[in-house]
Amino acid sequence: MPRSFRLIVPLLVPLLVASPATAQMMKSPDAAPEKTAPQSKGQVQLSFAPVVKRAAPSVVNVYASHVDTRGQSRSAMDEFMRRFFGENGGGRGRGGAPGERAQKSLGSGVIVDESGLVITNNHVIENMNEVRVALADRREFEATIVLRDPRTDLAVVKIKNPAGGLIPMAFGDSESLEVGDFVMAIGNPFGVGQTVTQGIVSALARTQVGSSDYQFFIQTDAAINPGNSGGALVDLQGQLVGINTAIYSQSGGSHGIGFAIPASMVRAVVETAKGGATAVRRPWLGARVQSVTPDIAESMGLDHPTGVLVASLQPKSPAEEAGLKRGDLILTVDGKIVDDPEAFGYRFALKGLTGQTKFGILRGTGRTTVPVKLGPAPETRPRDTLKVRTRSPFLGATLVNTSPAVAEELQADFPAEGVAVSAVDEGSVAARAGLQKGDMIVAINGAPIATTKDLERVTRNSLSMWEVSINRGGEVLTSVFGG
Rg (CA), the chain: 25
- The confidence band for 46, taking pLDDT boundaries of 50, 70 and 90, is confident
- Structural class in CATH, domain 386-482: mainly beta
pLDDT single digits (tens) 444-472: 988 899 999 999 998 888 777 889 999 88
Cα–Cα distance list, 80 to 75, 76, 77, 86, 445 (Å): 9, 6, 5, 9, 31
- The confidence band for 144, taking pLDDT boundaries of 50, 70 and 90, is very high
pLDDT for res 51? 81
> Structurally, what CATH architecture does the domain formed by 287-373 represent?
Roll (2.30)
Whether 287-373 and 58-159 are alike in CATH topology: the answer is: no
Q: Which of 5-19, 207-221, 238-252, 291-305 has the lowest mean pLDDT?
A: 5-19
> What percent of the chain is modeled with pLDDT above 90?
41
First to last CA, the chain: 44
Residue 81 has pLDDT above 60, yes or no: no
- The confidence band for 54, taking pLDDT boundaries of 50, 70 and 90, is confident
- The confidence band for 379, taking pLDDT boundaries of 50, 70 and 90, is confident
Residue 235 has pLDDT above 80, yes or no: yes
pLDDT for res 329? 96
* Domain boundary assignment for the chain: 5-19+48-57+168-274, 58-159, 287-373, 386-482
pLDDT single digits (tens) 298-354: 988 888 999 999 999 988 899 999 999 999 999 999 999 999 999 999 999 999 999
> What percent of the chain is modeled with pLDDT above 70?
80
CB 123 within 8 A of CB 246: no
How much is the average pLDDT of 127-135? 88
Query: Is the domain defined by 58-159 classed in CATH 3.40.50.2300?
Result: no
pLDDT for res 416? 67
- The confidence band for 380, taking pLDDT boundaries of 50, 70 and 90, is confident
Instruction: Evaluate the omega torsion of the peptide bond into residue 315 and state whether it is cis, within 30 degrees of 0.
Output: no
Of the options 2.30.30.30, 2.120.10.30, 2.40.10.10, 3.40.50.740, the CATH number for the domain spanning 5-19+48-57+168-274? 2.40.10.10
pLDDT for res 32? 55
CB 476 within 8 A of CB 453: no
Catalytic residues, which ones? Answer: 123, 153, 229
Residue 76 has pLDDT above 70, yes or no: no
- Three state DSSP letters for 433-473: CCCCCCCEEEEECCEECCCHHHHHHHCCCCCCEEEEEEEEC
